[in-house]
Amino acid sequence: MRVVFNRKKKLIATLLLLLTLGGIYAFNENDKYFQIAKNLDIFASFYKELNTYYVDDLPPEKLMRKGIDAMLEETDPFTDFVAEENLDDLKFMATGKYGGVGASIYTNGEWTSITDVYEGSPMDRAGVKPGDIIVSMDGKSCKNVAQEDISRQLKGAAGTPLDMVLRNPVTGQETNKKIIREEINVKAVSYSGIVKEDIGYIKMTQFTENSGIMVREAVAKLKQANPNLKGMILDLRGNPGGLLDEAVVVANVFIDKNKLIVSTKGKVKNWDRGYETTEQPVDTKIPLAVLTNHSSASASEIVAGSVQDLDRGVIIGQRSYGKGLVQTTRPLPYNAKLKVTTAKYYTPSGRCIQAIDYSHRSDDGSVEYVPDSMRKSFTTLNGRPVKDGGGIEPDTKVEPTYISQVALTLLRKQFIFDWATEYYYKHPGIAPAAKFALTDKDFEDFEKYLENKDYSYKTKSEEALEAFRNTAKKEKYYDGIQKELAELEEKMKHDKKQDLEKNKTEIKRLLEEEIVNRYYLQKGRIIKSLDWDNEVIMAANTLHNPALYKQLLTKK
């Protein structure tokens, strides 16, 4: 800490010297840069006096970080300070790589369990299974250790060892495992395959280095193995984005060479530029459907926006997030970084899909969505109307699928996860992921498993009724409607057993996905989920209907 403090004193002294020398120059009082220099001088002097005379010691690093965080509150949430110890997170966002063991975890009560094991990872090769409980790491007990601390210990430089003790969740037997950490590469394309017999499907989770090459290879392999493909689905749901350059490469898989995909414009005009496709595409003719939802952002929206604006394919699902901002990183002293928004990006039609106006704030500092009255209209290559300021609107909207309250509770309390673990140890093998299905007898066993479990919850209607009762009490109406409220509450009371039966299909699907994950890992989970995926079904039906597909791409 003393070294850090001395460095900070030198940094402040240097800053003060520069500011003093800056006084030699004739700054104009109205000059923005003079105001910056003036306030930096005040800030440095303020900190010096506060640190010297305040009655208690003030930790300089903590104090300065609060100042930085306060400044960042005036910017958008994508502009951020990245300390040296967090550079690995920044690297992961760009590359999809990190040093670790290749597993996901979840802490429930006293212990932390393995929830997912990545195929081919050190944990996978060591025979670690989802459901295994982490007892200790490097000789230190993991009981009552926070999940983020466990996660931090699992990560580390490639080649470093990790001694673990794992407990079987069913037998209770403990096993020693020596894991050698590796560079884990989270694949941008988590799955590619065939749905509905002749439709290619590619699930893309992020835009990291070489993700465009992965998509290109996946499309080429699907076409080679299935010469009679009727269409291709590119699934960008839940994809938060990543590298802009990779978005251009992905779009280039389906869009011809030398086509503008996106342009950027910012304060520094010399940085403004347009990004065009540079390679020969894999296929510009095959019918294409891009899936989006409210979590599809940034680079995902560049791909979806270019496909829509150039009428290369149809967008299916829900409106995308609406992030039309570009970030770059700038170096700071002591290996820190500034991730700063430097530009807005524009799709080929000229629209910026940024949905929230961070540049204009209310008096309370809040920001608002771009109102519909302020959104401008643009046209696609075929003359179809599209709008800016609100994400990418799908050509075919599909209502999102919401999980019932009972199913959500079973997931949150790990009952679905734990029962799937028990099922795995009772059944040496199951059918292939796409064909596996639980029987009614299996579901009855699950219901029995839940008999002594607490999965009580309040429905949304019950929560609304309780809020109404509290409001009525505050406004002195409660006595007059107390009887009616009691009758309504009685009618609304839910029976947990009844809720299980009512949502049986949904709960069975969640159980099947979790069980398949035990045998076929994440790839199996995705394959199984495609059976009842409404957006995928809608996309496949659209691609199987050439007349409908053409109609969606025609001027309205």
* Cα–Cα distance list, 400 to 7, 135, 245, 299 (Å): 53, 39, 30, 22
Residue 210 main-chain phi, psi, to 5 deg: 70, 10
What does the block give as tokens for 58? 């003030």
Q: With contact defined as beta carbons under 8 Å apart, do 118 and 101 qualify? A: no
CA atoms within 13 A on the CB side of 189: 19
The set of catalytic residues is: 298, 309, 323
Q: Which residue stretches of 208-347 are H helix?
A: 211-225, 244-252, 299-309
Q: How do beta strands 231-235 and 80-82 pair?
A: unpaired
Who contacts 542 (Cβ-Cβ below 8 Å, separation ≥6)? 289, 314, 316, 396, 548, 549, 552
Buried b (16+ CB within 10 A) or exposed e, 286-325: bbbbbbbbeebbbbbbbbbbbbbbbbbbbbbbbbbbbbbb
Tokens 């957006």, located at residue: 535
Calculated CA dihedral for residues 305, 307, 311, 317, nearest 10 degrees: -70
Q: How many CA atoms lie within 13 A of 481 on its CB side?
A: 14
Helix (H, G, I), strand (E, B) or coil at 429: coil
> 525, exposed or middle or buried, with CB in 10 Å at 0-12, 13-18, 19+?
buried
Going by C-alpha positions, the residue among 353, 347, 344, 343 that lies closest to residue 376 is 353
Q: How far, in Å, CA of 269 to CA of 259, rounded?
A: 22
Would you state the structure tokens that stand for residue 292, as one six-digit string? 């989006």
- The neighbouring-strand residues paired with 433 are none
How many residues belong to the chain? 556
Give a three-class secondary structure readout of 296-310. CCCHHHHHHHHHHHC
- Cβ atoms of residues 170 and 177 within 8 Å: no
Q: Calculate helix-pair angle for 504-529, 405-412, nearest 10 degrees.
A: 60
Instruction: Say if strands 356-357 and 368-369 run parallel, antiparallel, or are unpaired.
Output: antiparallel
